[in-house]
Amino acid sequence: MGLDKKFNRINRDDPPAKGALKISLNPFLIVTHERKYLFDVGIGDFGEDTNAENLVKSLNKFDLGLEDITDIFASHLHYDHIGGLAGQAHDEWQLFFPNAKLWVSHKGWDKVLGLDEYYDEEKLSFIHFINDNADLQFLKDKDQPYPEIYTETIGGHTEYSQVLLFDDGNQKYLMAGDVLATRGEVNRKFAAKYDFDADQSMQNRKELTKKAFQENFTVMGYHDSHYPLFTLTDYEEQQGYTINKLEADESA
């Protein structure tokens, strides 16, 4: 992503253009006997040379299609996290996940709908299409829509950013969108200009990494380019947390 704030596709191992930030967009699939969850859905058609094809291919590896997803949880409402909800065909919007419930912060959704402009005219049309056509489910500040799913509004990156927690007694995942987006953020204390409340984000990162370590959650790093799934296995005052990087087949 360059200074123009446009997302341009590059290969995973390619260096970014001068002055640009290299990030990955990693939607996460969790499959249980009853449901098939996605935590965030990527940018869809809103980047340069981006589309939902990679997500379709990834789902196909598990013999799943877009219609099989039952529930989508949004960590927050920036378009690189929810743009994959719909796309345009023949100048008409279509839902990519026709059978999925879309779980969003109630306050966050109301705020977005109240904006005169959601980035630009095209994205404003997109968000109103989602509002009118998706199976929207609104989350309270603290909620438990399913026995294995917990959500909490933590703010920081956006006013209503959420942490998404999955715990079925066997697998445990923690996903906090851009509040804890990469392994490199685990042992850093920093204030980011892109945050709604940088101090709150710093506090959130501290608390979430502690929670992940103490309660054995696997962290889902939405913007991590090479190891978006990792655990924290040890802690020392001077060195911080030891990060255990997981390969995809280790966490399946």
Q: Is residue 115 part of a domain?
A: yes
- Domain-located, residue 109: yes
pTM value surpassing 0.75: yes
> How many Cα atoms are found within 13 Å in the side-chain-facing hemisphere of 67?
0
Average pLDDT over residues 98-121: 96
In a domain, 155, yes or no: yes
Establish if 219 belongs to a structural domain.
Answer: yes
Strands (E), 41-148: 71-73, 86-89, 92-95, 101-105, 135-139, 142-146
Dihedral angle at the C-alpha atoms of 226, 229, 233, 237, nearest 10 degrees?
Answer: 70
Please state, in angstroms and rounded to a whole number, the distance separating the CA atoms of residues 57 and 19. Answer: 31
Tell me whether residue 148 is in a domain.
yes
Question: What whole-number distance in Å separates Cα of residue 239 and Cα of residue 237?
Answer: 6
Within a domain: 12: no
Q: In the chain, pLDDT over 70 holds for what percent of residues?
A: 98
Q: How many structural domains compose the chain?
A: 1
Q: Is residue 65 part of a domain?
A: yes
pLDDT tens per residue, range 117-142 = 999 999 999 999 999 999 999 999 99
Per DSSP, the residues of 120-138 read SHHHHHHHHHHHHHSEEEE
In a domain, 19, yes or no: no
- Average pLDDT of the residues in 4-22: 81
pLDDT digits (tens, 9 = 90+) for 198-220: 999 999 999 999 999 999 999 99
What pLDDT is stored for residue 87 in this prediction? Answer: 94
**Domain range spanning residue 163?**
28-251
- CATH number of the domain residue 166 falls in: 3.60.15.10
